[in-house]
Amino acid sequence: MEGNYAIIVAAGKGRRMKCKINKQFIDINYKPMLYYSVNAFCKHELIDGVVIVCSKNEIQYCKTEVVKKYKFTKVIDIVEGGDERQNSVLNGLNALKNYNCNIVLIHDGARPFVTHEIISDGIKYSKIYGACTCGVSVKDTIKIKDKKGFSFQTLDREKLFLVQTPQCFNYKLITNCHKKLLQEDVKVTDDTTVVEHYDNKVYLYDGSYNNIKITTPEDLDTANMIIKSLAR
Ligand code: CTP
Ligand code: MG
* Domain residue ranges in the chain: 3-230
CA distance 112 to 123: 19
pLDDT lower than 70: segments of the chain: 232
The predicted pLDDT at position 231 comes to 79
CB-ligand 1 contact for 112 (6 Å cutoff)? no
Closest ligand by atom to 213 CA: 1
Closest ligand by atom to 10 CA: 1
CB-ligand 1 contact for 92 (6 Å cutoff)? no
Closest ligand by atom to 9 CA: 1
Q: Decide: residue 114, CB within 10 A, 0-12 exposed, 13-18 middle, 19+ buried.
A: buried
Q: Decide: residue 20, CB within 10 A, 0-12 exposed, 13-18 middle, 19+ buried.
A: exposed
Residue 101 exposure: Cα atoms within 13 Å on the Cβ side = 29
The CATH architecture one would assign to domain 3-230 is: Alpha-Beta Complex (3.90)
Please name the residue whose Cα sits nearest to atom 17 of ligand 1. 12
The predicted pLDDT at position 137 comes to 97
| 6 close to 47: Cβ distance less than 8 angstroms | yes
Q: Decide: residue 165, CB within 10 A, 0-12 exposed, 13-18 middle, 19+ buried.
A: buried
The predicted pLDDT at position 38 comes to 98
- Ligand 1: residue of 8, 9, 24, 83 to mutate (most ligand atoms within 8 A of CB) is 9
CA distance 128 to 7: 20
The predicted pLDDT at position 138 comes to 96
CA distance 166 to 191: 10
Residue 31 exposure: Cα atoms within 13 Å on the Cβ side = 13
Q: What number does the ligand 1 atom closest to the CA of 12 have?
A: 24
CB-ligand 1 contact for 109 (6 Å cutoff)? yes
The predicted pLDDT at position 232 comes to 66
Which phi and psi (to 5°) does residue 215 adopt? -120, -45
* Whole-prediction pTM: 0.97
The predicted pLDDT at position 1 comes to 74
Residue 183 three-state SS: helix
